Amino acid sequence: MTDKVLAQAPGDDCFRAVQHSGEPKGSIEKIAGVDTYVATPPQLSRGQPAKGVILFYADVYGPLFINNKLLQDYFAEQVG
């Protein structure tokens, strides 16, 4: 490999985004002193146990950005 550059300049896809719509369903809780968005699967509200945990590593906008909250809600709904 002769190219010593790890990353190139940002391309058009770096600035293109998908805007999700809706209202976030989760809640913001402090975990270890950090505001954390908690999205709960629907089955927990029916008394069924959760089958796992999903850790969401946010992009540059952070986990409290509305688009990221909606993504976390979507992932929580898919746990089943």
Residuewise pLDDT in 10s, the chain (80 residues): 566 777 788 788 777 777 788 999 999 999 999 999 999 887 766 677 777 788 899 888 889 999 999 999 998 888 75
**Given this model, what pLDDT does residue 64 score?**
93
CB neighbour list of residue 52: distance below 8 Å, 6 or more residues apart? 79
Q: What does DSSP assign to residue 47?
A: T
Of the candidates 48, 47, 29, which has an alpha carbon nearest to the alpha carbon of residue 37?
Answer: 29
| Closest by CA position to 29, among listed 59, 62, 64 | 64
Q: Half-sphere exposure of residue 69, counting CA atoms within 13 Å on the CB side? A: 15
Please name every residue paired with 30 in a beta bridge, in sequence order, or none if there are none.
Answer: 35
